[in-house]
A and B are shown apart, each in its own frame.
Chain A
Amino acid sequence: MSMPALTNDRASNVVPTASASSTASVVTMTPKQAPAAERYVKMAREVAVRVVPPLIVLVLFMLVWELLCRRAGSALPPPSRVFSDTRELIFDPFFDHGGIDKGLFWHLEASLRRVAIGYAIAAIVGVALGTLIGQSVWAMRGLDPIFQVLRTIPPLAWLPLSLAAFRDGQPSAIFVIFITSVWPIIINTAVGIRNIPQDYRNVAAVVQLNPLEFFAKIMIPAAAPYIFTGLRIGIGLSWLAIVAAEMLIGGVGIGFFIWDAWNSSHISEIILALFYVGIIGFVLDRLIAVVGKIVTRGTATN
């Protein structure tokens, strides 16, 4: 080919070590490779930096709690009491004596199942409606003000209405999850769609993508970082809402487990359940964050 000017461009792109081996005059530079042991030490140090500080704080917190609550007549049990009271629940989360007398695993599973269904519907509806609002000015003018009002309604306020409509606890709880988590998904998706650079739209126009291809190949990937922000807020809110909703609808579920423990004055069980609720909420949040990070790699860093 007759493009002498171009050849340099490629050479400049090669890692120095690779080109060095072909030309004798250049001093070979091997990248410093740390020995295995040294690398493990470095990795361990990095992990320690993240793990040790919260552990110290946790131990201190437990210590203070223990000291404050160990005297006789205190309202709340100290950590040692919590552990001894709930030992059975901790070590046997899978028992099932029928009715609502089940291990914690089953309660959490029931709650997670409701969240999964409600959240999945919210994700689908939210992205679809968000796309509509982001893409169509008239849809935005018509729907956005209404959504802005609806989204401020506290999740539990929907519960009586949905109980009236569905006449059953299970679908009502799922509806509450849906209605709680759908708003941030709608709003963030709409913002993401509205912020698609004109350049990408121009590219799509020149290539002549049809609306369906435009949706799948341009809109969704371009708006993905925003969509995942909405999804992450949504999962957090739905986990917040499920506990409250379950307290009211009863049956199997971590929310009702807590309420039941309160009615039976098993304060230690409440504390254990709260611990699990927190951990699972954290894991759900991280899960969506990780999925988002994988899906939006490349997009976010442009």
Chain B
Amino acid sequence: MAYLKLDHVDKVFTRGAATTEVLKDINLTIEKGEYVSIIGHSGCGKSTMLNIVAGLTTATTGGVLLEEREVNSPGPDRAVVFQNHSLLPWLTVYENVRLGVDKVFARTKTRAERDAWTMHNLNLVQMAHAKDKRPNEISGGMKQRVGIARALAMEPKVLLLDEPFGALDALTRAHLQDSVMALHQKLGNTILMITHDVDEAVLLSDRIVMMTNGPSAHIGEVLEVALPRPRKRLDLATNPTYVKCRQRVLEFLYERHRFVEAA
């Protein structure tokens, strides 16, 4: 049984008389606990796809099913980690996480439990030490950690990552990839991640969904990454399966679906 299912999703943007078909007939099923990445050139509609799952955009036709039930509005069961962290700058790190906790567990947890749960999640991403800092007082990597904590704290059924490491430098990105991998191992979340980084996709995912170029982007190919977990970044570099997977994705992106710059 599919846990999360995108069923014949089309998305058409209409501006005045002009219509652009962004996504065409997207079908994808994701099992519980699976880590799925969506990769494609920029402008291929992968962010739109994530927004449809998140409920921030509605599909023109087709729909999204989570545990057999249709979802078409945003909710904490599909928490999003945004590319640019989107922490509220007037709240402290703690308050940013607590905002979601207070809403999601308003009835099921006492005040003290919500406090403990907030701290627990900050601890998971190793940001408890900065709980009273404001977002502009911490580094980009730390902000993204807090963004992850905020999403995790809502206990989502599906965690949606929208190019979560895109705005970070290479070293910080590697750190965060490792911690997301560790969290996935530990908590067993179902994760859908948007990325444009081939290594990141292969390193983290169970399956990689490759998108063709837009307009009318669709799923070109789905690749299973049959690498055992836990995965170690250093060991993988020479692992034949890893190299093969990487090769497949690169071929897809740069040979068969070269990005044609819109002149």
A interface residue numbers (CB < 8 A to B): 1-3, 5-10, 13, 197, 199-200, 202-203, 205-209, 213, 217-218, 221-222, 224, 296, 298-299, 301-302
- Distance between Cα atoms of A208 and B126 in the complex (Å): 26
Pick 21 A–B contacts, CB within 8 A, sort by A.
A3-B179, A5-B178, A8-B175, A9-B142, A10-B129, A13-B129, A13-B130, A13-B142, A199-B82, A202-B74, A202-B86, A205-B73, A206-B78, A206-B154, A207-B100, A207-B103, A208-B75, A208-B76, A209-B103, A218-B88, A296-B90
Whether the pair A206, B54 counts as a contact (CB closer than 8 A) is yes
Residues of A within 8 A of B142 (CB): 9, 13
Tell me the bound Cα distance from A239 to B249 in angstroms: 67
Cα distance, A221 to B89, chains bound together (Å): 9
With A199-B82, A202-B80 known to touch, is A208 a contact of B103 (CB < 8 Å)? yes
Q: Which residue of B lies closest to A302 (CB)?
A: B89
Instruction: Please give 15 more A-B residue pairs, beta carbons under 8 A apart, in addition to A202-B82, A298-B90.
Output: A1-B182, A9-B142, A10-B126, A13-B142, A199-B86, A203-B82, A206-B100, A207-B103, A207-B104, A208-B76, A217-B88, A221-B88, A222-B88, A224-B90, A298-B135
Instruction: Determine if B135 and A302 form an interchain contact, defined as CB atoms under 8 angstroms apart.
Output: yes
B8 interfacial by beta-carbon distance below 8 Å? no
CB of A225, distance to nearest CB on chain B (Å)? 10
A3 touches B129 (CB 8 A): no
Query: Residues on B close to A: CB < 8 A?
Result: 54-56, 73-76, 78-80, 82, 84, 86, 88-91, 99-100, 103-104, 126, 129-130, 134-136, 141-142, 154, 174-175, 178-179, 182, 185-186, 230
Q: Are A6 and B103 in contact (CB under 8 A)?
A: no
User: Which residues of B lie under 8 Å from residue A218 when comparing CB positions?
Assistant: 88
Give Cα A121 to B214, complex, Å. Answer: 53
Assembled-state Cα–Cα distance A197/B89 (Å): 12
The answer to whether A207 touches B154, judged by C-beta atoms less than 8 angstroms apart, is: yes
Q: A206-B54, A221-B88 are in contact. Are A2 and B185 (CB under 8 A)?
A: yes
Report, nearest first, the 4 A-B pairs whose CB atoms are least far apart.
A5-B178, A302-B89, A199-B86, A205-B74
Nearest neighbor of B123 in chain A, beta-carbon distance: A1
For residue B10, give the distance in angstroms from its CB to the closest CB of chain A. Answer: 22
Q: Chain A residue with minimal CB distance to B183? A: A3
Partner of B175, one of A6, A13, A202, A296: A6
Could you say which residues of chain B place their CB within 8 Å of the CB of A2? 182, 185-186, 230
Contacts of A8 in B (CB 8 A): 175
Asked if A207 meets B99 with Cβ closer than 8 Å, knowing A202-B56, A202-B74, A221-B88, the reply is: yes
Taking the nearest CB of chain A, how far is it from the CB of B166, in angstroms? 14
| Contact between B178 and A3, CB atoms less than 8 A apart | yes
Residue numbers in B under 8 Å from A299 (CB-CB): 89-90
CB of A288 to closest CB in B, whole Å: 19
Kindly list chain B residues whose C-beta atoms are within 8 Å of the C-beta of A197.
Answer: 86
Q: With A203-B86, A302-B136 known to touch, is A217 a contact of B99 (CB < 8 Å)? A: yes
Q: Are B174 and A5 in contact, with the CB atoms below 8 A? A: yes
Q: How far is the CA of A286 from the CA of B32 in the complex (A)?
A: 58
Partner of B179, one of A5, A199, A302: A5
Complex Cα spacing A217 to B100, Å: 12
Given contacts A9-B141, A298-B90, A298-B134, contact A206 B175 (CB under 8 A): no
Residue of A nearest to B230 (CB): A2
Nearest-CB residue, chain B, relative to A206: B74
A4 to chain B minimum Cβ distance, whole angstroms, is: 8
Q: A70 CB to closest chain B CB, in angstroms?
A: 57
Q: Are B99 and A3 in contact (CB under 8 A)?
A: no
**Which residues on the A side are within 8 Å of B79 (C-beta)?**
206
B79, B100, B174, B230 interface centre (most CB from chain A within 10 Å): B100
A207 to B179 Cα, complex, angstroms: 24
Shortest Cβ gap from A213 to chain B (Å):
8
User: A205 near B56 (CB under 8 angstroms)?
Assistant: yes
A206 to chain B, nearest CB (A): 5
Complex CA distance for A218 and B87, rounded to whole angstroms: 11
Determine whether the beta carbon of A206 is less than 8 Å from that of B76.
Answer: yes
Q: Which residues of A contact B126 (CB under 8 A)?
A: 3, 6-7, 9-10
Report yes or no: B136 in contact with A206, Cβ–Cβ below 8 A. Answer: no
Q: Which residues of A contact B182 (CB under 8 A)?
A: 1-3
Contacts of B186 in A (CB 8 A): 2
